Amino acid sequence: MAESWVNHAERIGADLHLDLSAPGSRRAALVQALRDAVRGGRLAPGTRLPPYRSLAADLGVARNTVADAYAELVAEGWLIARQGSGTRVAERTEPLAPAVPAPPLPKTPKTPPRARAPRHDLRQGTPDASSFPRTAWLASYRRALQQAPNEAFGPGDPAGRPELRASLAEYLARVRGVRAEPDRIIVCSGFAHALRLLFGGGVLRGPLAVEAYGLPFHRELLTAEGVRTVPLPLDARGARVDRLDRERAVLLTPAHQFPTGGPLHAERRAMVVDWARARGGVVLEDDYDGEFRYDRKPVGALQSLDPERVILVGSASKSLSPAVRLGWMVLPERYVGDVLRAKGEREAWASVLDQLALADLIGSGSYDRHVRRMRQRYRSRRDRLVAALAEHAPHIGVDGVAAGLHAVLRLPPGTERSAVKAAVWQGVALDGLAEFRHPDASDKDMPAHDGLVVGYATPSEHAYGAALEALCGALPPGEA
C-alpha cells in the first residue's frame, strides 16, 4: 500500500512549498523554483533543505531529479553541501538581484519625521514593565499547561475558565471584600471590553452618570456606543452622587478617584447604593488599582454593600501588565445571562491559557507576593516624588491620598499649559489635568484647577531619579 503524504510529511518533519509548473523538464522547473525561493527570501541563508529522498517523495519526482537540481545550484553558489550537515542555502554578503525588476513604487507625499520618543515617561496608567514576575508567571504557565484538562484546548467558554473564576472569587473576597460566587464572575479582556459588552451589547442603556474627571478614552468609547454621559462634580468627599437624577447607571472609581486621587466618602458610598435601589439603577465600580493603598489598609469594594446593585470591574493591567489582556466583571445575577449573550457562544478575546496561568498564579500565592512587592515599590516611588517636590518645588502640592500608580501635582493658576510644554522640552511625557475633564463639566459646580497627572510607576528603577530631576526642572517657579 502506498505511503500517504501525511505519514511521509510527519516522518521528514519539514514542509517546503515549491511550484514546478514552469515549462521544461522537471529538473529545470525544480532548479528555477529553488532559485526563486532563495532570491525572494522565502529560503533564508543557512536554511537546511530536505534530503533528496524526502523532497523527491514530497514533490512526486525522481530522487535523481532532486540530486541533480541540488548539484547545479551548489555549483552556481546558491546552495552549499557539506558532509554530515546536509544541503543548506548559501550565506551571501550582498542581496541577490530580483529575477524581474520590481515596478517603481507610486510616489506618495512625504510624511513628517516621527517625533522623538521622550527620555522619561511619566504618563499615568502603566506599571513598571521591568517588574513583571517573569519567573513566577512562567512557572504558573507550565503548571497550567501540564494540569489543564483536554477540553481546555477547545473553544473557550465565554464565561471564562472555571479555574480562574474560582480563584478570583476567593481572591476578591479576601482582598477587596467582594461578595460573589464564581458563577457571578465573567472574564473579559479589560475595562474597555467590559464597557463594550455592557453598553454595546445592550445589557445597560444610558444616560450614564460619570465623574467629572476620568479617562477620555472611556467617554469616547461610550459616545461611540450611543451612550450620553452626564458629569458629576467632585469635591473633597468624592463624586457628588446627591446630584444623580434620571440616569440609569453611574460609573465611579470609589477606592481611588481617577485621576484626582480621593476616595468616595463612606456616607456617599451608602447614598449611591440607596439611589440604585430606589431608582432601579446600577452602579459600575471601576476597581482599577484598589490593592494599591499606602497610608492605610485599602478601602473595601463598594460592591460589598449591595451585590445586586453594583457591577464591579477589575483587571490585571495595573497589578501585572496591560499585556496580560485579562479582566473580570462581578455581576448581579440578573445581568449574567445578558452579558454572556453579548459575548457570544465562544470566548473571542481572553486567552484560555493565560486564564489558566493567572488562576495558578493566584492559587499559588505568587500573585499576592507580587502585589505586596509592587505596593512597597510604588509607595517608595511616591515618597521620592513628594520628597523631590519638597526640596525643589515646595510651592507644588500633591493632591489625593497615597495610593495607586499616579499622583496629581497642584499647580498655580494659569500655569498648566506652560508646564506641559516645559516638560516636553525636558524630555518628559506626562498629561495635564485638563485632559481628563469632562467637556460638559460646569465651572459653576466645579471650578477647573491647574495640575499635572504624574505616573510614577512606568520608569525603571534606575531611571526614576533622572525622571524626577527632569520633572522638577519643568515645574513653574514659586513666588519670590
> What are the pLDDT digits (tens) for 260-279?
999 999 999 999 999 999 99
Residue 407 in this model has a pLDDT that exceeds 50: yes
Tell me the average pLDDT across 238-264.
95
Q: What is the pLDDT of residues 283-329, one digit of tens each?
A: 999 999 999 999 888 889 999 999 999 999 999 999 999 999 999 99
DSSP per residue over 193-233, as a string? HHHIIIIITTSS-S-EEEESB--HHHHHHHHHTT--EEEEP
Mean pLDDT in the chain? 89
* pLDDT (average), residues 330-348: 93
CATH code for the domain defined by 133-364: 3.40.640.10
pLDDT score at 314: 96
* pLDDT at residue 115, rounded to an integer: 46
- Tell me how far apart the alpha carbons of residues 179 and 307 are, in angstroms, rounded to a whole number: 7
Share of the chain above pLDDT 70, in %: 91
Mean of pLDDT values over 146-165? 94
Statement: residue 392 has pLDDT above 50: yes
Supply the pLDDT for residue 27. 87
Distances (CA, A) of 72 to 34, 206, 425: 11, 72, 61
Cross-strand partners of 286: 313
pLDDT surpassing 70 at residue 183: yes
At 9 the pLDDT is: 41
pLDDT of residue 214: 96
The percentage of residues in the chain with a pLDDT greater than 90, rounded to a whole number, is 68
Intervals of CATH 3.90.1150.10 along the chain:
369-474
Reported confidence tier of residue 425, pLDDT bands at 50, 70, 90 = very high
For residue 36, what pLDDT is reported?
87
The DSSP-derived string for 376-408 is HHHHHHHHHHHHHHHHH-TT-EEES-SBSSEEE
Separation between Cα atoms, residue 473 and residue 122, nearest integer Å: 14
Q: How confident is the model at residue 19 (pLDDT cuts 50, 70, 90)?
A: confident
* Bridge partner list, 452: 409, 432
Residues of the chain with CATH 1.10.10.10: 20-89
Cα atoms found within 13 Å of the Cα of residue 284, Cβ hemisphere only = 28
pLDDT given at position 103: 56
pLDDT band at 116 (very low <50, low <70, confident <90, very high): low
CATH for 369-474, among 3.40.50.1220, 3.90.1150.10, 2.40.128.30, 3.40.50.970?
A: 3.90.1150.10
Compute the distance between CA of residue 131 and CA of residue 129 in angstroms, rounded to an integer: 5
Is pLDDT of 3 > 60?
no
d(CA 253, CA 265): 12
Q: What is the pLDDT of residues 53-73, one digit of tens each?
A: 888 888 888 888 888 888 888
Dihedral, 338, 344, 345, 351 alpha carbons, nearest 10: -110
Structure letter (DSSP) for residue 152? G
Predicted local distance difference test score (pLDDT) of residue 480: 53
What pLDDT is stored for residue 112 in this prediction?
47
d(CA 262, CA 267): 14
Cα separation values, 370 from 300, 361, 366, Å: 20, 10, 6
Tens digit of pLDDT for each residue in 451-476?
999 999 999 889 999 999 999 999 99
* Predicted confidence band of residue 169 (pLDDT cuts 50, 70, 90): very high
Selecting from 3.40.190.10, 1.10.10.10, 3.40.640.10, 3.10.105.10, what CATH number does the domain 20-89 have?
1.10.10.10
Looking at residue 215, what is its pLDDT?
Answer: 94
Grid cell for residue 391: 526640596
Task: Lowest mean pLDDT of 300-304, 387-391, 444-448, name the range.
Answer: 444-448
**More confident site: 271 or 10:** 271
pLDDT over 90 at 16, yes or no = no
Distance between CA atoms of residues 314 and 221, nearest Å: 18
**Residue 83, pLDDT score:** 74
- Flag whether pLDDT at 108 surpasses 60: no
What is residue 59's predicted lDDT score, i.e. its pLDDT?
85
